Homo-oligomer: A and B are copies of this chain.
Amino acid sequence: MLDNLDLNLALEKDDYKAQIESLMQELRVLQQACWEKKLPALFVLEGWAAAGKGLLVKKMVGYIDPRGFTVHPIWPATEAERQYPFLWRFWQKLPQSGTIGFFYHSWYTRVLEDRLFGRVAEAEVPIVMRQINAFERQLVDDGAAIGKFWIHISKKELKKRLKTAAADPLDAWRVRPEDWQQAKNYDQYATFAEEMFAQTSTGTAPWTLVEGNDQRWARVKVLTKMATTLTEALDRLQFRSPPPTLPPQEKLEPTEPDLLAQVDLSQSLSRDEYKEQLREEQTRLRELQLEIYQQQIPVLVVFEGWDAAGKGGAIKRLTDVLDPRSYIVSPFAAPTDEEKAHHYLWRFWRRLPPPGKIGIFDRTWYGRVLVERVEGYASETSWRQAYKEINEFEEQLTSAGYVLVKLWLHISSDEQLRRFEERQQNPFKNYKITAEDWRNREKEPFYYVAINQMIQRTSTPAAPWSIVAGNDKYYARVKVIQMVIQAIETELKRRK
């Protein structure tokens, strides 16, 4: 691919001036439109060292309001960043709605420089490519514009530029030892790049290869494509097809399994059994906590369940004997303004526990296919897409070594009613029950369908759901701890 680029392409000064003038106007208007339509945009600059990426970023931002963008220079991941899935640090840096993020180097360093220097295992490369594609597709499906540029120069030109830069006192500091390595291994690096184009030039976020020997040509090409990318994303917003208006599904289809109905809700423990088993399991969990810490394994336990299913009590028993420095409980309610200005998965990425700790999420990304679906906050297209997005997200966690435990606390409708009424009557508990809980209860059939479909579609081998029978609180609390223990033990065995 790179061989076919005509590196002799160039622009005369007058041509350049005329074209750049109108691009400048266009980009200003487009930035304004993105701001108004709350459209986030990402532009990635990759390519050879000394290919002029820095100057290009400068040109790209030169025509727009500096309050509406951020430039992210991406260097090798720090030790803290390497503790998380590799896309974690890029999730932290996503532009919020209406703003533009420029990435000078990007997540692609993982399949370029990291690969050249052996910082990523060859076997991992296809997985990384797939995760990158999922990442970009998720953003584009959420309305973002993505432009990716590879600035290409010939081997000869690269060497010449590095030598010139190294000789200039104002520029010498920019030339890293890695850059010389790149020149030395030009052909190898080019092969990596070609593979990267083949794997990640997708319909949603294609690569633009830029002939970089002539700077004027490169600028006009990049700025033109930047304008097109924004225009197309704005058009997509405008002409987004209206969400299908199917009536909400009140009953499962006969072909759909009713997983909730298969749960034996009569399972229970006597008070004595509970006390004994709870102590036993808690003790075991405490031992495992030490192993998690020593082996630096990240654990994430996610709690979902019907209102009044006993999530709070179960979390309390789970954490009771743990060292409070070893876990972090993150409750998620309705998203804040800042959270709403990002992809719905953003707030969960931000709160991932580091290795060695147990993160406990009280409600999660599954809100997308539960409350957001049932209440109509997410369009049908969006929540249907979410199954795939969630599976991809969880795959990234488990493949990065996370122990992921997904618990659905199930109670019968009668039991829920009994608990609601009890809460209402108990002055110490009635703050727990609101008009919203009663309203949700009226929508129970819709939730019943949504829950079943969620469990069915997001139970993957690496991240299965566990449905916990919750009518008896004693039984449920012990079961929750057992599920966590089991998951940790499985991971410990795998690592041996």
Contact = CB atoms under 8 A, between A and B. Distances in A.
Contact of A336 (B36, B315, B336): B336
A414 interface: no
Interface centre among A54, A61, A66, A362, by most chain B C-beta atoms within 10 angstroms, is: A66
A320 interface: yes
Interface residues of A, number: 41
Contacts of A70: 328-329
Interface in A358-372: 360, 362
B323 A54 contact: yes
A319 B58 CA distance: 10
Give how many copies assemble into the complex. Answer: 2
A102 interface: yes
Interface string A60-80: 011001110111010000101
Given A324-B58, A324-B102, A338-B336, A362 B316 contact: no
Interface string A87-114: 0000000000000001010000000000
A337 interface: yes
A319 B71 CA distance: 12
Nearest to A334: B337
Interface centre among A71, A102, A338, by most chain B C-beta atoms within 10 angstroms, is: A71
Contacts of A338: 336-339
A104 B324 CA distance: 10
A346 to B, nearest CB: 13
A66 B315 contact: yes
Contact of A337 (B57, B290, B336): B336
A312 interface: yes
A8 interface: no
A431 interface: yes
Contacts of A339: 338
A292 to B, nearest CB: 13
B65 A316 contact: yes
Interface string A7-26: 00000000000000000000
Interface of A: 32, 36, 54, 57-58, 61-62, 65-67, 69-71, 73, 78, 80, 102, 104, 170, 173, 287, 290, 294, 312, 315-316, 319-320, 323-325, 328-329, 331, 336-339, 360, 362, 431
5 closest A-B pairs by CB = A67-B331, A336-B337, A71-B324, A73-B325, A66-B329
